[in-house]
Amino acid sequence: MGKFFTLIAWVILIPVLLVSNFLTLTSSSANAALSGRLEDAGIITVHSQMQERYREQGEQLAIAQARNEEVGERIQATGTAIRQRTVQSAAANVGSLPAGAVPYLGWAVVVGVTGYELMLACENLRDLNTLYTDFGIEGGTSDESMAFICNPDLRSFADAYERIPDSLASEYAEFQAWAKATETGLPPASEPVE
């Protein structure tokens, strides 16, 4: 009788094992169900390890996406502010042209608009420097240039010119050379590239 029960057990056990093997290889729900039963018995399965890994990666992805959204919003806000100030500066500059031609009053308009444009330029540079600092980017505006643009002491042109940082002075000299060359109708002289 013992052999009979052993034979029945094998006859039932082998097809059950074959069917469960087939189902776990072909059906993810069967695989998950079997894995869940094995975990209930205290056995760690590859399926459970993969599910945990998948969950952790999902959390990391959600954190990265939230950070990217925050970065995008900050960049967009900074870009919008710079764009608005640039439009305001251009409008003030163009709008002041007729008033700049009026004797005596013109100088006041030119000085006022220049001060306004310097204020807008300073705010733009501060926003860019903040953005650079927040994202660990090198190459922000130097403190010397920031002080010159944001805190100008314009008692006289000669005094102001003496205080221009070297980097800005060389750019201004290039601009003056270009302006002189365009007055004569000649294109600006280009320096040889080294």
pLDDT tens sequence across 110-147: 878 888 888 888 888 888 888 888 888 887 777 777 77
Whether this prediction's pTM lies above 0.85 is answered by no
- Per the listing, tokens 């094992």 go with 17
pLDDT value, residue 57: 93
Cα separation, 148 vs 164, in Å, equals: 7
* Torsion angles phi and psi, residue 138, rounded to 5: -80, 160
Task: Answer yes or no: is pLDDT of 60 > 90.
Answer: yes
144: its two tokens: 């010397």
Model confidence pLDDT, tens digit, residues 69-97: 888 888 888 888 888 888 888 888 888 87
All residues at 6 or more sequence positions from 160 whose CB lies less than 8 Å from its CB, including other chains: 152, 153, 154
Q: What radius of gyration, in Å, describes the C-alpha atoms of the chain?
A: 37
- Per the listing, tokens 């399926």 go with 47
Indicate the residue type of 65. Answer: Q
Arithmetic mean of pLDDT over the chain: 76
All residues at 6 or more sequence positions from 121 whose CB lies less than 8 Å from its CB, including other chains: 89, 149
Cα separation, 43 vs 49, in Å, equals: 11
Q: Do 158 and 180 form a contact (C-beta atoms < 8 A)?
A: no
Taking alpha carbons only, the member of 151, 173, 150 closest to residue 161 is: 173
